[in-house]
Structure 1
Amino acid sequence: MTTTAPAPREGTRRRSGSRPATPYAELSALVQAAGLMRRRYAYYWARFAALLGALAAVAVASVLVGHSWWQLLLAAALGLVVTQMAFLGHDAAHRQVFVSGRWNDWATLVLAPLLTGISATWWVRKHTRHHAAPNQIGTDPDIAPGALAFHPAALAGRTRLGRALARHQGWFFFPLLLLEGLNLHVQGVRSLWARGPVKRRWVELSFITVRLGGYVGLLAWLLPPGIAASFLAVQLAVFGLYMGCSFAPNHKGMPVVPEGERLGFLRRQVLMSRNVTGGRFVTFAMGGLNHQVEHHLFPSMPRPALRRARELVRPFCARHEVPYTETSLVRSYGIVVRHLNDVGLAAGRDPFECPLVASWRPRG
């Protein structure tokens, strides 16, 4: 069941003899006092070692299975393991793993370009823009116009056929995710070859060349061409589907903010984010992204602390009348599909007819 706290009304509280404190500053003090920003080295090293062991197990199994179509099951397993590696890279990019920024940067390079095959620089730039203004038109790249329209304004300029397809785009969402793994690799490589400054460009290009070139070369050496090509296709499809199914429930179907609209940090992050319930299994499966509200409020908070942070954030939002949304995983997918179909059908309506957005706008 989807749950939300009461309707919003922003405010601040004044401490005796001091300047007014924002609600976010108050919440941040609670989180710091609870020790939730402390690094969790044992957790991350254990997770990294387990994933390296899983990669080794898939490699050994592939050699033992040999020239058999059972390899496709191992390809699917590899897609799952690589996605979990990407989740670790996400944590390192957010400075969740180490205190040292340099250590986090190098951990991201190892986990993203070298082990996952995705450009760290490209992804960090894109993801940073998303965190700065989630679901804001013209700012959040995750809702930029593309194959899918995440808000009616993104339908502008489409042909009649494109608009007709958009009316049912929700049903295309999950099939399209099967191509997302390939897209992530292609976009990352293109960004590294593009003009302009790229931090550690040649390190990333070297890592990605070793990762992608070595992977394809190993498949070509180990398996017949047909099985090798199918192995690669299945692994990329599972990777893209798993990544998309983990990130999509967090913001898709939440309010879309008009371009130029200004909101306070607490409201911006909470109102545009959705948590996914389901306990520890869902937390493991989604790499902690199910605690999206807490992650957006405290991006550098280690993954294991997010569940405890929810116990502070949810009642805090209720006290300050900031809507806090969470729902089940299955229901969140239904919301995503319905939202995308509604966007396709709503081309003639005001894309900002939303009670929440209307309440933020100044009166008079």
Structure 2
Amino acid sequence: MPTQPVTMTKAAPAPAAAAPQPEGGGGSDFAQLSRRIAAEGLLERRPGYYAARIGLVLFAFVDGWCALYAIGDTWWQLALAAVMSVVFAQVALLSHDLAHRQVFTRRAPSEIGGRIAANLLMGMSYGWWMNKHTRHHANPNHEERDPDVSPDLVVWSQRQARQASGLARFIGRRQAYLFFPLLLLEGLNLSFNSFRALRGPAVKRPVLEGVLLVVHFAAYFGLVFGALPFGKAVAFVAVHQALFGVYLGCVFAPNHKGMLMVTPGMRLDFLRRQVLTSRNVRGGPILDALMGGLNYQVEHHLFPSMPTPALGRAARITREFCAEKDIPYYEVGLLRSYREIITHLHRTGEPIRSGS
């Protein structure tokens, strides 16, 4: 990232060169931006939008399972599996919005809706994910505090690479080539961690969430294996879960991967911590829908409860504000974001390959 803010008309700079800003005075910067955002009414709830979005997603969800039985015993069911991976990802994006109280202002309906969407419809623990995602928002791209960049399988900084061992060291050596193939397993990873988290402190209602997860998978496997012969049913599940993982990974990966990594010694105010570690992805209405508004990652991190349809307008205001304050604001096209991720992964794996 250069010292000049990025605009919609300028080529996006490389993200590695952004210099952290000192903490002094940063809070007042965020307060100024917040007042501009609030004055535009961008934090107000959008019940009509969410009613329509939830209705469309639920219709697609139910219609997809009906289509499973209507299509019958044919390998064309694998095309339906691909479609259902998109539907499941849209359910996941809805649960994300519910967790951030973008739909409801109160906690109770947000948690009820979140557990229905995540646990019952998608097969992921709402409590586990909420705990992890809250820690991510508090410290995005922090080498030690952000669970999304913990070096479990992939190393996200050269410092992590030098300390890597076991499987992380083996994968880290060639992680630029393995990153997207590993996303094929992300759906299974979410389910596995969801059940494992039921025994820990992250899930506040483990019995309820456990029951909902069991109901989900009983219904999921019951519907698939009830509609198809064993071989086709296994293929359906494999295609569905693999593409579901790839879709989610391709939505969430551009948000921060390859951006500024925060080390324990850095001091960043809230505004700069969120802006410098986040990447926006340019597109249009179709991309906004496919990514659930997470392509406006800078604004989402600054204002997590902002409803999805307000993010585009908020991006224009934030971009102008960052230009006034000389804060680098980074956005690129979707394909370039993936290229930057792969380049970053190759660079961070260098200490493992060189043995340093």
TM, length-normalised to structure 2: 0.91
- Secondary structure, aligned partner of 2:349: helix
Structure 1 53/195 Cα, relative in aligned 2: closer, same or farther at 3 Å?
closer
- Secondary structure, aligned partner of 1:99: coil
Partner of 1:56: 62
Deviation at 1:311, TM superposition (A): 1.2
Partner of 1:354: none
CA distance in 1, matches of 2:246, 2:295: 16
Amino acid at match of 1:125: N
Structure 1 135/161 Cα, relative in aligned 2: closer, same or farther at 3 Å?
closer
Contact conserved, 1:12 with 1:23, CA < 8 A, in 2? no
CA distance in 1, matches of 2:65, 2:304: 34
**1:286-305 per-position Cα deviation (integer Å, ceiling 9, x unaligned):** 11110000000000100110
Superposed, which structure 2 residues align to 1:25-40 within 5 Å?
25-40=31-46
Structure 1 80/319 Cα, relative in aligned 2: closer, same or farther at 3 Å?
same
- Secondary structure, aligned partner of 1:253: coil
Deviation at 1:41, TM superposition (A): 0.7
CA distance in 2, matches of 1:238, 1:23: 41
CA distance in 1, matches of 2:202, 2:293: 32
Amino acid at match of 1:168: R
Calculate percent identity across the aligned residue pairs.
45
Deviation at 1:168, TM superposition (A): 2.8
CA distance in 2, matches of 1:62, 1:318: 51
Partner of 2:74: 68
Superposed, which structure 2 residues align to 1:94-133 within 5 Å?
94-133=100-139
CA distance in 1, matches of 2:243, 2:313: 31
Deviation at 1:99, TM superposition (A): 1.6
Contact conserved, 1:8 with 1:323, CA < 8 A, in 2? no
CA distance in 2, matches of 1:102, 1:159: 42
Partner of 1:145: 151
CA distance in 2, matches of 1:188, 1:54: 25
Matched, 1:306 2:311: yes
Deviation at 1:213, TM superposition (A): 1.2
CA distance in 1, matches of 2:65, 2:225: 14
Deviation at 1:11, TM superposition (A): 8.0
Contact conserved, 2:141 with 2:260, CA < 8 A, in 1? yes
Amino acid at match of 2:145: T
**1:185-244 per-position Cα deviation (integer Å, ceiling 9, x unaligned):** 11011101x144732222211111111111111212111111111111111111100000
- Secondary structure, aligned partner of 1:22: helix
CA distance in 2, matches of 1:262, 1:27: 20
Deviation at 1:59, TM superposition (A): 1.5
Contact conserved, 1:8 with 1:321, CA < 8 A, in 2? no
- Secondary structure, aligned partner of 1:129: helix
Partner of 1:278: 283
CA distance in 1, matches of 2:193, 2:265: 27
Matched, 1:224 2:234: no
Structure 1 345/79 Cα, relative in aligned 2: closer, same or farther at 3 Å?
same
CA distance in 1, matches of 2:131, 2:176: 27
CA distance in 2, matches of 1:85, 1:140: 24
Contact conserved, 1:7 with 1:321, CA < 8 A, in 2? no
Partner of 1:189: 195
CA distance in 2, matches of 1:39, 1:160: 47
**1:164-195 per-position Cα deviation (integer Å, ceiling 9, x unaligned):** 75343111110100000100011011101x14
TM, length-normalised to structure 1: 0.89
Amino acid at match of 2:330: T
Match of 1:291 among 293, 296, 313: 296
Contact conserved, 2:127 with 2:202, CA < 8 A, in 1? no
Partner of 2:273: 268
CA distance in 2, matches of 1:129, 1:138: 11
Structure 1 129/196 Cα, relative in aligned 2: closer, same or farther at 3 Å?
closer
Amino acid at match of 2:184: L
Amino acid at match of 1:96: Q
Deviation at 1:263, TM superposition (A): 1.3
Match of 1:176 among 182, 190, 198: 182
Superposed, which structure 2 residues align to 1:85-100 within 5 Å?
85-100=91-106
Structure 1 224/99 Cα, relative in aligned 2: closer, same or farther at 3 Å?
same
Contact conserved, 1:250 with 1:290, CA < 8 A, in 2? yes
CA distance in 2, matches of 1:4, 1:231: 40
Amino acid at match of 1:105: E
| Larger displacement relative to structure 2 (154-163 or 260-269) | 154-163
Deviation at 1:49, TM superposition (A): 0.7
CA distance in 1, matches of 2:13, 2:143: 25
CA distance in 2, matches of 1:319, 1:210: 52
Structure 1 293/222 Cα, relative in aligned 2: closer, same or farther at 3 Å?
same
Amino acid at match of 2:125: S
- Secondary structure, aligned partner of 1:327: strand
Amino acid at match of 2:12: T
Matched, 1:207 2:212: yes
Structure 1 205/165 Cα, relative in aligned 2: closer, same or farther at 3 Å?
closer
Contact conserved, 1:82 with 1:116, CA < 8 A, in 2? yes
Deviation at 1:262, TM superposition (A): 2.6
